[in-house]
Structure 1
Amino acid sequence: MKRLQSICTLFACLWLCAISAQSDQVFQSKTPDWVTPIQAKLSSEKKELDNSPFLYLLVDAQFNLIEEKAYRHLAFKILNNDGVQEMSDFTIEFDPDYQSLFLHKINIYRDDQVIDQLDLNRIKTVQRETNLERHLYDGSLSALFNLTDVRVGDIIEYSYTRKGFNPVHNGIFSTEEYLEYSLPVVNIHGRYLVPKNKDFEIKFFNGTDKPEITEHPNYTEYVIKNNNPKTTVYDSNTPVWYDASKSYQVSQFTSWNDVAKNYNQYYQISVSDRKWLRAKAKEIIEADTVFDDPIVPLTRFVQDKIRYLGFENGLSSHKPSNPKEIFNRRYGDCKDKSFLLSELLKAYNIDAHPILVNSTFGNTVNKDLPSPNSFDHCIVQYHRFNKDYFIDPTINNQGGNAEAIFAPDYGYGLILDEGTTTLTKFEKPDYGKTNITETFIIDSIGGPTRLRVETVYSGYKADITRAEFNGNGISSIQKSYLDFYSLAYADIEVSEELYFKDERDQKNTFTVYEEYRIPNHWTEMPDDPSQIYSEYYALAIDNFMFPQKTAKRKSPYYINESTNIDYNIVIFTPEKWEVNTEYYKSDNPYFEYTYQSKYSNARIDITHKYKALSDHVPAKDYSEFLKAHEKASENISYYLTYNKSLAESYANNDDSDLSWFALFLFLVVFTGVGFLCRLIYTNYDIPSKAHPDDHRPIGGWLILIAIGLCLSPLLTLSPMINNEYFTSDYLLLWSNGNKALVGLVFFEILFNAISLAFNIFILIIFFKRRTIAPRLIIAFYVFNFIGVSLDTLAASFIPSVYATAPGPDLYKEVFKSLIACIIWIPYFIYSERVKDTFVNTYKKKNTEKGNAENMNFLENKPSV
């Protein structure tokens, strides 16, 4: 314990010494002579009505490029208690490696009083690392000011100068300043003193302002101001890259080649170091037993074995450490890791370079003036097979082969090479997919339900899931997954602990398996206790189905363009279930959603597919985007309902599986049509047109007709039996409200009964070669075409019949029937073979039979 106290005491002493040393770099001085004094307006009633916590009265920034000094002057008025809390202390940051801080004034104006609060003894200079959670140590100091006795209505004004520009830029200046803010401001002023004959360019954004330019003997003065800036208001969920405020950039870099050459000089190593790295790269490759390609093992070494930690102060803000040093100490920031990986790849003759990118505003970098300020990140670019590839060495746990390693869409980047002249455009990456299959097993109606979940992540999705599992324990992940499913199923419980399968190499998939039990999955209907229901909710796409609503949106709406989910729900029921087959597809340019449900053999399959097609929605299209989601969200819940009373009544009926009504209807129609055919058989005749010597037996193409007519009754009965037209299941559809489908079933029963009776009749007259056969066969073909067409047309208007929108398969039977009509109807009309085959009449046969009986009577009559 005493040892711990000693260590803490030593640490405190060292910290106080650091503060004391750092305070030596903060000075007090008057406002420099080169600064143009700007007076802050002490009030602005119009701006104060905005009801903000405070009001900026002046934002003044002046830069002396000759002496490398930056002057800041700010004044603001406290408007309420929140403003007192927020603005009574502030910090000024500076880098002690190359900067000194000079304070000019810190005043509080109250009524007619001027309260001077500039006291160096009250200033705390501390090492304040705001990026440590990102493993970045930038080395900057923060001069901390804590004002006393601040009240509502006070005006606070302070000014300071930072002396010294970062030497890593070699005296080339660039910056970006705003002319509008998201908080109310009264006056914004900017001023630049540029040495004569030095390049200096200004570019304005979201406006066409022009600077005031004044030529002096040794320098040129540029003044940019906005005396009445508007307050920029952003809607919720606006993309981070969207910037609607007026701003401007200044830069002394004349081209992107100047920027690339200026910083490429820091990415050079000696011949001996390169030789040393080549030997280390060989060791890494030889230790790998999976990949023949050196890119993957070298990438994984830098990503997974070199931890991410950066020191960003002074030259280190843009200059990396030596790759040999990085390799040995096993840590580095993005520049360090990219430099190391580039050199390791070069050891295997792979053309690789560090490339500067912007992790937030990458898609707008091409509009910027050439400047290092456009970038905040560094990755690796390599050229292979006539194509550019990119690797982010700060991402770990990545899988797949060299060409499949995921790199984010950074928009544009600057390759650090002497020959670079333009920015490099990134291609849209493949973010991979999440494929979820939830299998619900219902052992008994009203009882508990078993749930098995298989989630397959691929590509980028596999990378981030692998990182999640490597960074957290299974128990913690299981708890978060259980909490997730409890949002839809309150009493869900784990039945088997989750496990995973990681196929990192080649396929790059990560599969998670889960098993749960839902004890009380069935619930009684509030208005009808005899009915119970269970719900199946597409929980994984819930967040995407309900976008944030904004009235009269003016900013674009952010979309996570990596969203790509196939969501499958499989339900196994303990008995037959009548399910409406459904299909829906959204029609929106910013997302793709399809929904489908179908049933087969006590299994219900429900599929949701959701994919983002953009990274944002323009404000003008936001209303339609909302409407499309409202329509799509109607499918997010699926319900199974069960009528206990009806089920009991069917259970008590031994013959419940047979629909006597459907069977009776079929037999009545079949008998009635058979009777009608009998009348036609005995009362309808056509004289034969064939010569008595030209009578022929059934042959030629008529053989095909004979085969078809013989098979036709079997083809008619088979689907009726397989589809269980004569069971009571279809009657349940009527009680469930699907009367259209029941009507279609009864139409098909009627049609098939007529067709079967007529078919048998046609067979009889065909083989008896009756003269009426050709006409009745033509009528049979026409009747069949009309019936199939009507049936298909009716089915196409009932969404529960087909799982997809009407397509070629739906009309296949109609097409076949039409082809049969086109081929065989002309044949029966014009064929001589038909005329010579079908020559018998019913009356002729009866007459011949009577004559034969008379002849037998005369022959047997006794002679007189």
Structure 2
Amino acid sequence: MKYRFPGQLLAAALILVTSLAQAAPELLFSTTPEWVEILEPVESKRPSQGSVRVHLSNSQLRHRGKEQQYYFQIVVEPLNQQGVSEIAELNFSFYPAFQRLQVHDISVQRNGEHLDRLQKDGFKLFQSEQELSNKLYSEQWNALYILEDIRPGDIISYAYTIEGSNPIFARSDFGRLYLSWPQAVDRRFVKISSDKKLNYRFNKREYSVQQSHLQDNHTYTIDLRDVAGVPMESEYPYWHDPLNYFQYSSYDNWGQVNDWAQNLYQIDRTLPESLKNKLDNWRAQLGLEAAVSKAIQYVQEDIRYFGIELGINSHQPRTPQETLEKRYGDCKDKALLLTSMLAHLGIQSYPALVSSSRGRDIGKDIPSPETFNHVINLIELNNREYWVDATASGQGIDIENKGFFDYELALPITKQTNALKAVNPSSESVANLSARIEEQYDINAAENLAELRVNSRFSHRKAEQVRQFFLSADTEQIKNSYTNFIAGYYPGVNTSPEITYNDSLQENQLVVSEHYQIGDFAQISSARKIFSLYGSALVPYLSKPQHPIRQSPLTLTHPVDIQQSARVNIQGELLWQEELGTTTIDNSWFNFTRSAKLENSALQVVYNFKSKVDHVEPQEVPEYLAEFNKLDRALQYKFWAKGEASSKRNKSQEMKNLIKSLIRK
């Protein structure tokens, strides 16, 4: 997760959406609005620490119907040169199609003297399309102001107001304001006024909210002192936000949000005759179920994903006709097109609002449109439910075998919807990251050389991930990627491997075959060649925390079902190997087994790993780490081999030497 310094809180404080296209906006300057309550920083006994001290963070909002005004003020002090670097560039983001940016103050206090630093010609206006990497265009603008001659100990203050809200919303009175950041804050002030009564909640710690009601004005005030900074740990689940925020909304239930969403989708869903004929032919030739799968594949593969989310198109889809003509669309465009195509086949389908960034966490939300940032499809077929993401690609053909994206909760846009609905896979297999890897090692112990053949079968979600890699990379990139992975375990691998793959789109399975020549295969220890096998296929799915003492849960990859087997044929003599039989590690987070046996003078080691949950609670991380370390040790399996048979006497002496060596280690 990314966080922003309080001076750049616009994006983090409010969920602002996209705009109508227009030319470079005009930057406005004014005094502080009359409706804003004037505040001063407070004295704090908290010692100054770190690079920056935040004396005041002041957010005040005013909602009247569709109109919104957001006032923000920050008073901050750099404590050292690092702090100067962090705060000396001010960046104001807004959507000029429906918003106006008014700057009120940029000033510095130095040695008790007030210095006005607001120069109207000091701003640089530019478009910032940060979402283009995700194939979205929304025309956000930034106003950049670079403060000059800033020194440690200066008290910097600036304030601005953003007026206006996206006209697609029936009303503007919803949002969230962060109350904590990685930096401590001497005073955090929030004041929200609305012409409607608001519902609210806190993400973490609850605080007192002062409420007042006068005629048609409802006011909610939070005034906090000495707000502690929040340690920003890594490796926590995407649905977990470690920072505390205040969420508010005038919506009373999800049914009201659904009513708003339904109005957006009441548009012309007519399909062109050519597409209707195509759908009819699919049904006649393939049957209904296969025709449904073909329709999904058509929207996923033939209509490219790209969104121009300007104004009402931030939330309202384009007509299927327009999407077909352009041959591209964003999530809502593709979802509506698919719904319309399936309706022609007589299949009930609905666009469904989800959060791709928060998952299950939206179940705690107060209902409002800001909860959602993505649209998928709920399809009812043969008395079963299928959740399909029309923006996905490389998913194969059959709806039964498409990998499942776990958005966890959704709001289907139907007349009956009045609550969030659980997003469940049609079967367990389509949700798993599943792989079956078979390795064969042919080892020449005398020459310390090995030939390695790997056959990997990937299914459903994992097949789709691997397929995307093979579709996007050229031959050399593929060889380089695979060789470097093997080199992490066997540095002597030849850099010219054979890599081929066979793809089955109908079953959504992909098989990759690898062939390597490896020199210096064994490690030389006390004049003995100690060979090692590794459960390397499991490693990408295992999580070892960088910070075992933590406040946030530790994320785990889930659901994972991996089997890796290694068969070792030795040209020479196997003198010793680690314990045969089965090693089992079973706990609340995963089940792992390693089985080793000798079969027809060949050594066979099989690793199995299944995840159980997607996270570890903070207080359980030390226990999880102990289990992880046991698994990590079990992933390496060692054995000793010689190129020529030795006499029983020499063999016995060498075994004694090996045992002594192992004891010393």
Return the TM-score normalized by structure 1.
0.69
Deviation at 1:498, TM superposition (A): 0.7
Q: Which residue of 2 aligns with 1:220?
A: 218
Over aligned residue pairs, what C-alpha RMSD do you find? 2.8
Change (3 A) 1:175 1:581: same
Deviations 1:284-327 (A, max 9, x none): 83798799522211111111111111122322221111211111
Find the aligned partners of 1:458 and 1:158 in 2 and give their Cα distance: 55
Deviation at 1:607, TM superposition (A): 0.8
- Tell which has more relative contact order, 1 or 2 (C-alpha 8 A, sep 6+): 2
> Are the counterparts in 2 of residues 191 and 221 from structure 1 also a CA contact under 8 Å?
yes
Give the partner amino acid of 2:227: P
Deviation at 1:454, TM superposition (A): 1.0
1:534 pairs with one of 531, 535, 540: 531
Find the aligned partners of 1:61 and 1:280 in 2 and give their Cα distance: 56
User: Is 1:387 equivalent to 2:384 in the alignment?
Assistant: yes
1:415 pairs with one of 389, 400, 412: 412
> Are the counterparts in 2 of residues 47 and 186 from structure 1 also a CA contact under 8 Å?
no
> Are the counterparts in 2 of residues 569 and 606 from structure 1 also a CA contact under 8 Å?
yes
1:361 pairs with one of 344, 351, 358: 358
Find the aligned partners of 1:388 and 1:521 in 2 and give their Cα distance: 51
Deviation at 1:59, TM superposition (A): 1.5
Q: How does 1:468-487 map to 2 (within 5 A)?
A: 468-487=469-488
Find the aligned partners of 1:731 and 1:280 in 2 and give their Cα distance: 82
Find the aligned partners of 2:415 and 2:145 in 1 and give their Cα distance: 45
Q: Which residue of 2 aligns with 1:628?
A: 627
> Are the counterparts in 1 of residues 444 and 643 from structure 2 also a CA contact under 8 Å?
no
Q: How does 1:308-347 map to 2 (within 5 A)?
A: 308-347=305-344
Change (3 A) 1:544 1:307: closer
> Are the counterparts in 2 of residues 277 and 347 from structure 1 also a CA contact under 8 Å?
no
Give the partner amino acid of 1:491: G
Find the aligned partners of 2:437 and 2:573 in 1 and give their Cα distance: 26
Query: After the TM superposition, which of the residue ranges 182-191 and 290-299 deviates more from structure 2?
Result: 290-299
Secondary structure at the counterpart of residue 610 of structure 1? strand
Deviation at 1:483, TM superposition (A): 0.8
Find the aligned partners of 2:285 and 2:407 in 1 and give their Cα distance: 30
Find the aligned partners of 1:308 and 1:34 in 2 and give their Cα distance: 44
Give the partner amino acid of 1:479: N
Give the partner amino acid of 2:24: Q
User: Is 1:239 equivalent to 2:237 in the alignment?
Assistant: yes
> Are the counterparts in 1 of residues 410 and 421 from structure 2 also a CA contact under 8 Å?
yes
> Are the counterparts in 1 of residues 125 and 141 from structure 2 also a CA contact under 8 Å?
yes
Q: Which residue of 2 aligns with 1:186?
A: 186
Q: Which residue of 2 aligns with 1:27?
A: 28
Find the aligned partners of 1:277 and 1:155 in 2 and give their Cα distance: 67
Q: Which residue of 2 aligns with 1:610?
A: 609
Find the aligned partners of 1:514 and 1:540 in 2 and give their Cα distance: 14
User: Is 1:466 equivalent to 2:467 in the alignment?
Assistant: yes
1:257 pairs with one of 255, 258, 271: 255
Deviation at 1:277, TM superposition (A): 7.8
Deviation at 1:211, TM superposition (A): 1.7
Find the aligned partners of 2:85 and 2:138 in 1 and give their Cα distance: 28
Q: Which residue of 2 aligns with 1:76?
A: 76
> Are the counterparts in 2 of residues 211 and 222 from structure 1 also a CA contact under 8 Å?
yes
Give the partner amino acid of 1:397: G
1:296 pairs with one of 273, 290, 293: 293
Give the partner amino acid of 1:564: D
Query: After the TM superposition, which of the residue ranges 68-77 and 427-436 deviates more from structure 2?
Result: 427-436
Q: How does 1:795-810 map to 2 (within 5 A)?
A: none
Find the aligned partners of 1:425 and 1:494 in 2 and give their Cα distance: 48
Find the aligned partners of 1:111 and 1:564 in 2 and give their Cα distance: 64
Find the aligned partners of 1:245 and 1:47 in 2 and give their Cα distance: 22
Deviations 1:389-432 (A, max 9, x none): 10011110002521332231111111112321111111266224
2:60 pairs with one of 56, 59, 62: 62
Q: Which residue of 2 aligns with 1:169?
A: 169
Change (3 A) 1:247 1:281: farther
**More helix, by proportion:** 1
Change (3 A) 1:294 1:21: closer
Deviation at 1:166, TM superposition (A): 1.1
Whose radius of gyration is greater, 1 or 2? 1
Give the partner amino acid of 2:619: K
Q: Which residue of 2 aligns with 1:586?
A: 585
Give the partner amino acid of 1:32: P
Change (3 A) 1:417 1:291: closer
> Are the counterparts in 2 of residues 257 and 418 from structure 1 also a CA contact under 8 Å?
no
Find the aligned partners of 2:287 and 2:654 in 1 and give their Cα distance: 59
How many residues align? The count is: 633
Secondary structure at the counterpart of residue 573 of structure 1? strand
Find the aligned partners of 2:198 and 2:166 in 1 and give their Cα distance: 18
Find the aligned partners of 1:249 and 1:641 in 2 and give their Cα distance: 63
Runs of 5+ consecutive residues of structure 1 not aligned to the other structure: 1-18, 657-728, 739-864
> Are the counterparts in 1 of residues 107 and 116 from structure 2 also a CA contact under 8 Å?
yes
Find the aligned partners of 1:380 and 1:514 in 2 and give their Cα distance: 38
Deviation at 1:624, TM superposition (A): 1.4
Find the aligned partners of 2:524 and 2:379 in 1 and give their Cα distance: 63
Change (3 A) 1:280 1:175: farther
Change (3 A) 1:409 1:471: same
Change (3 A) 1:208 1:443: closer
Q: Which residue of 2 aligns with 1:208?
A: 206
Q: How does 1:515-554 map to 2 (within 5 A)?
A: 515-525=515-525, 527=526, 529=527, 531-544=528-541, 547-554=544-551
Find the aligned partners of 2:266 and 2:580 in 1 and give their Cα distance: 65
**More strand, by proportion:** 2
Give the partner amino acid of 2:162: R
Query: After the TM superposition, which of the residue ranges 309-318 and 126-135 deviates more from structure 2?
Result: 309-318
Change (3 A) 1:314 1:79: farther
Change (3 A) 1:218 1:256: closer
Q: How does 1:564-713 map to 2 (within 5 A)?
A: 564-575=561-572, 577=574, 579=577, 580-642=579-641, 647-649=645-647
Give the partner amino acid of 1:469: F
Find the aligned partners of 1:20 and 1:384 in 2 and give their Cα distance: 44
Deviation at 1:735, TM superposition (A): 8.6
Give the partner amino acid of 1:130: Q
Runs of 5+ consecutive residues of structure 2 not aligned to the other structure: 1-20, 661-665
Deviation at 1:270, TM superposition (A): 2.6
Find the aligned partners of 2:551 and 2:62 in 1 and give their Cα distance: 38
Give the partner amino acid of 2:330: D
Find the aligned partners of 1:632 and 1:105 in 2 and give their Cα distance: 58
Q: Which residue of 2 aligns with 1:823?
A: none
Deviations 1:242-285 (A, max 9, x none): 234332211011211111111221213336x2464852652783
Q: Which residue of 1 aligns with 2:456?
A: 455
Deviation at 1:374, TM superposition (A): 1.0
Deviation at 1:461, TM superposition (A): 0.2
Deviations 1:119-146 (A, max 9, x none): 2222122111111111111111111111
Secondary structure at the counterpart of residue 228 of structure 1? strand
Q: Which residue of 2 aligns with 1:436?
A: 437
> Are the counterparts in 2 of residues 433 and 459 from structure 1 also a CA contact under 8 Å?
yes
Secondary structure at the counterpart of residue 187 of structure 1? strand
Query: After the TM superposition, which of the residue ranges 82-91 and 390-399 deviates more from structure 2?
Result: 82-91
Q: Which residue of 2 aligns with 1:151?
A: 151
Find the aligned partners of 1:76 and 1:280 in 2 and give their Cα distance: 65
Find the aligned partners of 1:730 and 1:258 in 2 and give their Cα distance: 81
Q: Which residue of 2 aligns with 1:794?
A: none
Q: Which residue of 2 aligns with 1:502?
A: 503
